[in-house]
Amino acid sequence: MSGLPILPSRKHEELLLVALRLDAQHDGPQFYTLVAVGGDNERPLVADGHLLFFTRPELAARALALDRELAQLGPAPQQAETFCDIAEALHLVNSQDDDPDGVILDSLLMLDDLVRATKLHMPDHYQGLLTELAARLTERMKLQDIFRKHALREEAEDALLWCVGAIAVRSRMISE
């Protein structure tokens, strides 16, 4: 038995449909993307160096066909598994004392995957701030305890907006 090679375990990757919202005036998701999860490298749908988003779940298969690597993981799911509410996260960071539903942490985790896929360098200050915010939220700290100074709220909001801008300039929207 000792002469048998030890094979590395393979993690099962799958595709998740992610719904996103940026505009607080909009009711429900505004657009969608696919994300590969379950492996060592969670990553969103990308083609020709651009993140791919689409306006309706029915367009998922069309978008998936543009990313050969993710297309190998299987067919595009039609039901959203998660909702990344960036508009609500910005509102909570800006003015609220608690985030009982974990909207900010969920948004931070998704934004991290999306920004990494842009291959843009996030300013170190923003990276450190968002990493620390995610760590505190993972510890279930209340926003009022994290943001003891209003200036810190503004810095966190600026860092989130930087992420949105980086994603916007490196994305492509599929609408029909």
Residue 79 lies in a domain: yes
| C-alpha–C-alpha distance, residues 80 and 132, integer Å | 28
Domain count, the chain: 1
Contact 98, 168 (CB under 8 A): no
Count Cβ atoms below 10 Å from residue 38 Cβ, excluding itself.
Answer: 12
CA 42, 47, 53: angle at the middle one, nearest 5?
75
| C-alpha–C-alpha distance, residues 82 and 148, integer Å | 30
Q: Which domain holds residue 65?
A: 14-174
pLDDT band (50, 70, 90) for residue 1:
very low
Residue 100 has pLDDT above 70, yes or no: yes
Residue 167 lies in a domain: yes
Residue 9 lies in a domain: no
E strand or H helix that includes residue 32:
strand 31-37
Residue 159 lies in a domain: yes
Token pair listed for 37: 């999860």
DSSP state of 47: E
Token pair listed for 109: 């985790």
Residue 122 lies in a domain: yes
- pLDDT average, residue stretch 159-164: 98
pLDDT band (50, 70, 90) for residue 12:
confident
If we measure between CA atoms, which residue out of 159, 158, 103 comes closest to residue 131? 159
Residue 151 lies in a domain: yes
Query: Residue 61 is which amino acid?
Result: A
* Res 58: pLDDT: 96
Model pLDDT for residues 108-119, shown as the tens digit of each residue? 999 999 999 999
Average pLDDT, the chain: 93
Residue 65 lies in a domain: yes
Residue 151 has pLDDT above 70, yes or no: yes
pTM: 0.90
